[in-house]
Amino acid sequence: MLDVTFRRSENATRIKMSLDGVSELPGCKSREMIGRFVTAVASRAVASLTTEKFAGWYMDRNARDTSGERAVGTYIDPLYHWPGFFAMLDGHS
């Protein structure tokens, strides 16, 4: 099982990744396998957390996947969506 923890430090966030059970697999006790894991999994995960990529993901989730009270407040009267709704309906008639 892959376990990822995030700990806040003074100026940054410390990310720790642990992979349980791998040492029991044949050939996985070597440093080479640790290097392969870092290359294949850990480095890609960390790269996806760069400021630019995280900001893009965060903005996308907020814009497209609202939920809870925020969604109700945003969509209770979809004033700015009405023109799009009507355009879609006109296109299907």
Break the chain into its structural domains and give their ranges.
Answer: 1-49, 54-93
* Closest among 87, 17, 26 to 46, alpha carbons compared: 17
Q: Is 93 helix (H, G, I), strand (E, B) or coil?
A: coil
Q: Which residue did the predictor score with more confidence, 28 or 78?
A: 78
Q: Are strands 13-19 and 2-8 parallel, antiparallel or unpaired?
A: antiparallel
Place of tokens 């995960």: 45
Res. 81: pLDDT tops 60: yes
Residue 16, beta-bridge partner list: 5
Res. 50: pLDDT tops 60: yes
Q: Is the pTM of this model over 0.85?
A: no
